[in-house]
């Protein structure tokens, strides 16, 4: 890797031409003794997944499908912040290559309003201790002919916004940014990270609707709280939302 000297991430990695999901491969490697910061990459995933059992379309040669194993220095309470950190790391990496990404809570990276990357955090732990977390990042580099037509209205790829850099450069830039975010988070907490996230947020200050397990919440997107929960100013007062789907 270029630019990962001295980083805690990316010191060990495995590449698969084809795998069910890099998340599963990471989990298997963790069970088999993967070190902190180990990275799994795949050319193609046959069962790439998003959150809540959704599918992540991962055709061969068209994207960066990557999972990072974290075993040190995190608690279960940090997983929301981790999801925001990973999205921010992707955004910062893309900016370094001249793209202008936006962030959509909790885990989407957008280019011109369409999703170019998504983040999936999976893990296992107890309240104040995390055994491991797997940070999954899917980034579309180009959309193949066979990309599902119904997803074309919401999805985009780097190639639609400028000549994409090689995937290994993208991976190294994302890992290096995530490495920085993790260090900053440990040293200073979520505060500085929140500011960096919010300057890239789409729809800040505007009306949004959020589908939560407990129903639909409509209001003004007011910011993020200290844990990375979404703050929405509703007619009934300020609400902090831990998980849900934002409609812009
Ligand atoms: C996500 O879920 O956005 C998390 C995606 C994480 C994928 C990575 S790839 C490496 C690692 N291994 C895995 O198996 N997963 C991770 P969510 O917010 O639930 O969004 C899923 C939704 O995005 C789907 O229901 C589709 O609507 C849409 N979608 C599916 N494939 C897409 C793609 N390639 N590009 C853009 N949108 C897509």
Q: How far is the CA of 22 from the centre of ligand 1 (A)?
A: 12
With respect to residue 91, please indicate whether it lies within any of the assigned structural domains.
Answer: yes
Atom of ligand 1 nearest to the CA of 115: 36
Q: What is the CATH number of the domain that holds 104?
A: 3.30.930.10
Residue that terminates a domain, selected from 198, 218, 238:
198
Ligand 1 pocket, 136 CB below 6 A?
yes
With respect to residue 6, please indicate whether it lies within any of the assigned structural domains.
Answer: no
- In terms of residue numbers, what domain contains 227? 207-247
pLDDT band at 227 (very low <50, low <70, confident <90, very high): confident
Cα 176 to Cα 16, 34, 116: the distances in Å are 21, 19, 19
Query: How far apart (Å, rounded) are the C-alpha atoms in residues 111 and 90?
Result: 12
With respect to residue 7, please indicate whether it lies within any of the assigned structural domains.
Answer: no
Per DSSP, the residues of 114-171 read EEEEEEEEEEEEETTEEEEEEEEEEEES---TTS-GGGTTTB--TTBTBPPPPHHHHH
Query: How far apart (Å, rounded) are the C-alpha atoms in residues 138 and 178?
Result: 14
Ligand 1 pocket, 176 CB below 6 A?
no
* Strand-strand pairing, 13-19 and 39-45: parallel
Q: What is the CATH number of the domain that holds 211?
A: 2.30.30.100
- Ramachandran assignment for 3, one of left (phi > 0), alpha (psi -120 to 50 degrees), beta (any other): left
- In the prediction, which pLDDT does 171 show? 97
Ligand 1 pocket, 151 CB below 6 A?
yes
Return all residues near 181 (Cβ < 8 A) that are at least 6 apart.
85, 86, 88, 89, 193
User: Encoding tokens for residue 112?
Assistant: 């011109």
Contact 25, 2 (CB under 8 A): no
62 and 89 share one domain: yes
What's the number of domains the chain is made of?
A: 2
CA dihedral 179, 180, 183, 189 (to 10 degrees): -120
Q: Which helix (H) or strand (E) holds 88?
A: helix 79-96
In tens, the pLDDT along 146-163 reads: 899 999 999 999 999 999
pLDDT of 127 higher than 80: no
Closest by alpha carbon to 158, among 104, 90, 106? 90
Asked if the interface predicted TM-score (ipTM) of this complex is over 0.90, the answer is yes
- In the prediction, which pLDDT does 69 show? 98
150 and 241 share one domain: no
65 and 140 share one domain: yes
pLDDT of 188 higher than 90: yes
With respect to residue 78, please indicate whether it lies within any of the assigned structural domains.
Answer: yes
Ligand 1 pocket, 62 CB below 6 A?
no
């Amino acid at each position: 890797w270029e630019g990962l000297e001295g980083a805690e991430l990316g010191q060990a990695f495995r590449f698969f031409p084809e795998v069910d999901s890099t998340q599963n491969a990471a989990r298997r490697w963790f069970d088999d003794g993967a070190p902190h910061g180990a990275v799994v990459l795949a050319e193609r995933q046959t069962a790439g997944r998003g959150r809540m059992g959704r599918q992540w379309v991962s055709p061969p040669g068209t994207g960066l499908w990557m999972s990072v194993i974290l075993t040190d220095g995190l608690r279960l309470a940090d997983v929301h912040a981790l999801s925001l950190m990973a999205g921010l790391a992707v955004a910062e990496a893309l900016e370094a290559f001249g793209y202008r990404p936006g962030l959509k809570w909790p885990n989407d990276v957008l280019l011109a309003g369409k999703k170019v990357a998504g983040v999936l955090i999976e893990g296992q732990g107890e309240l104040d201790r995390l055994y491991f977390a797997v940070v999954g990042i899917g980034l579309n580099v180009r959309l193949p002919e066979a990309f599902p037509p119904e997803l074309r209205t919401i999805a985009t790829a780097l190639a639609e916004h400028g000549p994409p850099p090689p995937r290994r450069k993208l991976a190294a830039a994302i890992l290096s940014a995530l490495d920085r975010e993790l260090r900053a988070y440990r040293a200073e907490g979520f505060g500085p990270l929140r500011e960096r996230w919010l300057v890239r947020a789409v729809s800040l200050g505007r009306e949004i609707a959020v589908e939560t397990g407990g129903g639909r919440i409509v209001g003004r997107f007011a910011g993020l709280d200290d844990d990375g929960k979404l703050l929405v100013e509703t007619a009934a007062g300020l609400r902090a939302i831990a998980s849900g789907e934002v409609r812009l």
